[in-house]
Structure 1
Amino acid sequence: MAEFDQVKLLAARYRAASERPYLASALYSLTVVPSDGVPTMAVDRHWRCYVSPAFVAATSVPELAGVWIHELAHVLRDHHGRADRLPAADQRDRSRVNVAQDCEINDDLLADGLTLPQGRMEPGLFGLETGRLFEEYLAQLPPSVVCSDCGSGAHGAAGEWEVTGDRGGVRPVEADALRRHTAEAIRAHQRNRGSLPAGWRRWADQILEPVVDWRRVLAGAVREAVAWAAGAIDYTYHRPSRRTAALRGVVLPSLRRPLPVVAIVIDTSGSMGEDDLAAALAEVTGVLREVGVGGNRVTVLACDADVHTAARVTSARQVSLAGGGGTDMRVGIEAALALPERPGVVIVLTDGFTPWPEAPSSARLVAALIGADPPPPPAWVEAVRVPRIAGA
């Protein structure tokens, strides 16, 4: 293997993260793997970034910074997951798929002022419009096009130089959380500092603004349950009643409307696959946003046949998932109801293959049922069906 200038490569990543801070967390989640087998840089499904030492030596730091962001874009945009859904004939033509994906990415990177090495693929080389998805470019490309292999994190097919397994990489659940965090950072950057390329804005909107009906149904169920739990149920003298002025010498209390406490129970049993857990974790951010309560009002519990973690959170990134055994969501619901601050709303994210409590409690119970055909819960449980997702 040629001498590897790791300092130069990491300096380029630091430059990319400093100039585009909304990508920093995702950039630093990529694991560097030096390899003479890859021609330039590439990324696999598990966010491992393979780097040619010779390419690093021959490439300037500004160009390396651009390539860092290019490879990151493949996994952020779930190119491998989308490639898996292509017709079989297209999947076999992985070089052409890679070219189409590079066209989707590079027009945004060039519009953002990034410097990329010579030989890059972009829509203009083929007389195509900018701002399209790779699936659209794929149908319009010439039959025989070739580009540098960006790895299984792009076209989905593992190269001989790729490490097997997911050890040392990013798991699907973590990748989904990174996508959502990056999309939120893009939104914040756009609000505070100005415009971004259309492709990044569109991608963030797709991640953060789901368009399918079940999410609106879930949000509505959560809002209704929270409104029910936050009803005026107690009196306080901190704010006297308006009727006090009419009664001399008498101070009347007023009704107070407390913020509800919400518990989210996530099914981490063996029947929940990684895509199911990714779907569940993705919903935590949405629930936190829809609840609209202040910090430290939401507790997330990871449960299979036992409760493994329980913690108050303000972000999905703070959620720790553990389990993998049998399934009994009754244990998680009981633990939620036994919290020091009893929740008014309990939301259970599960595939539905679990026993349920025999009778309703004083808390409102909402079940988000993940999967194609989950068994129904008892009639008194508010149920919303959540389709399986792969990535985001």
Structure 2
Amino acid sequence: MTKLLAARYRAATDRPYLASALYALSVVASTDVPTMGVDRHWRCYVSPAFVDATPVGELAAVWVHEVAHLLRDHHGRAERLPAADQRDPHRVNVAQDCEINDDLIADGLPLPAGRMEPRLFGLPTGQLFEAYLPGVPQGPPPHNCGSGAHGQPMPWELAGSDGPSCLGPVEAEALRRHTAEAMRAHRRSRGTLPAGWERWAEQVLEPTVDWRQALAGAVREAAAWAAGAIDYTYRRPSRRSAALRGVVLPSLRRPLPRVAVVIDTSGSMGDEELASALAEVTGVLREVGIRGNRVTVLACDADVQSVSRVTAAEQITLGGGGGTDMRVGIAAALAARDRPNIVVVLTDGYTPWPDESPSCRLVAALIGSDAPQPPGWVETVRVVS
């Protein structure tokens, strides 16, 4: 234990911005863990035999490696992988080690032999593990970093998340932010910080919102709002009518919203970004049960070019028009016999907008990072490739 804690002290002294995270780890000795590993509750499992056989300098590097899994939320990110990848935790672990180790090697840390790094698989450095994963072959890694890395509980891990030795999700997130702020301060005072850690700190302190999640959330929330317009109907009499002889009571119904998707088909629009945005919209609509004749797609530049039932991204055909005026498409959608409850506009933003909010939910998916901001009453999601 003395040797192990001396290695942690060296790691924290050499890289003070990691000190709080390193000392937040609680140590659990285990003869079952191959080397060192962590669980999602910030417990670090350590093999006594591995400590005996490893120099202090290399142990310090392993400390940094293991805490990096938790700081980078590898277990949380692993849970968002496709199911097939989640079923192969060893391969996920290798990809995660590649993400960490290329930064640690560039920082001069003496990692033990057998380390995983991108060059072993012909992969470039500086990538996230999600990008490395397709290039990692199947097969068990030389060691296992635990559920704090790949997300799958290991037999040598303690059960439960209670007790003073565990960190909960809220405390862990606060510690990540504290560490990121310490890295930024270190960068300003000393001017040196490994590129991988610098990118991570900036992401924590100034996170980039995934436009797919934001767009899906906006469409889903608008659909829930429109579906909340509960009304009465006599098409299906209330079951309470049986208690009142000669009286027919209406039942409550929750209508399924109608949706209009206005697509900017002017020449400035990019096919790939537009297809991605439409795929997200149609996917969410199918998920909430809105499809078929309840979705109208209007292709519009300075005029409405077509009105159709496009239901998939591959069905898009863009025509380069002269001007751009999404007001025309919005007005045409609202003037239809089946008036929509939700209008989604896919545009690069270089268009005039209506002078006031229409009597429906309006969501704008702005294609491109430099798209102008629409009026404040427009629900806006920026689609950036």
| Deviation digits for residues 94-146 of structure 1 (CA, Å, limit 9, x no counterpart) | 00000000000000001111111000000011111000000000011123352
Does 1:197 pair with 2:191? no
Helix, strand or coil for the counterpart of 1:89?
Answer: helix
Q: Deviations over 1:235-291 (max 9, x none)?
A: xxxxxxxxxxxxxxxxxxxxxxxxxxxxxxxxxxxxxxxxxxxxxxxxxxxxxxxxx
CA contact (8 A) 1:99 1:147 kept: no
TM-score (norm 2): 0.54
CA displacement at 1:194 relative to structure 2:
1.5
SS at match of 1:154: helix
Q: Select 2:205's aligned residue among 192, 208, 214.
A: 208
Partner of residue 174 from structure 1, selected from 160, 171, 174: 171
Could you report, residue by residue, the CA deviation over 1:63-83 in whole angstroms, capped at 9, with x for unpaired residues?
000000000000000000000
Match of 2:20 in 1: 25
Among residues 119, 123, 128, which one is paired with 1:124 in the alignment?
A: 119
How far 1:166 moved relative to its partner? Answer: 1.1
Q: CA deviation at 1:211?
A: 2.8
Map of 1:158 onto structure 2: 153
- Alignment of 1:187 onto 2:218: no
Unmatched segments (≥5 aa) in structure 2: 212-378, 380-385
Instruction: Give the Å deviation of 1:212.
Output: 3.3
Per the alignment, residue 238 of structure 2 pairs with none
Please list every run of 5 or more consecutive structure 1 residues that lacks an aligned counterpart in the other structure: 1-5, 215-384, 386-392
Whether 1:61 aligns to 2:56 is yes
SS at match of 1:33: strand
User: Could you say what secondary structure the match of 1:14 adopts?
Assistant: helix
Match of 1:101 in 2: 96
Give the % identical residues: 72
Q: What secondary structure is seen at the aligned counterpart in 2 of 1:159?
A: coil
Q: Which deviates further from its counterpart, 53-62 or 139-148?
A: 139-148
Counterpart code for 1:179: R
Match among 40, 43, 50 for residue 48 of structure 1: 43
Aligned-partner Cα distance in 2 for 1:170–1:63: 26
Runs of 4+ in 1 over 4 A off after TM superposition: none
Length, aligned pairs only: 213
Partner of 2:74: 79
Deviation per residue, 1:23-82 (Å, 9 max, x gap): 000000000000001000000000000000000000000000000000000000000000
Distance in 2 (CA, whole Å) between partners of 1:19 and 1:171 is: 27
Give distance in 1, aligned partners of 2:37 and 2:87.
19
What is the DSSP-based 3-state SS (H/G/I as helix, E as strand, rest coil) of the residue aligned with 1:202? Answer: helix
User: For residues 1-392 of structure 1, what are the structure 2 equivalents within 5 Å?
Assistant: 6-144=1-139, 146-167=141-162, 168-212=165-209
> Partner amino acid for 1:166?
S
Conserved? CA contact 1:124–1:130, under 8 Å: yes
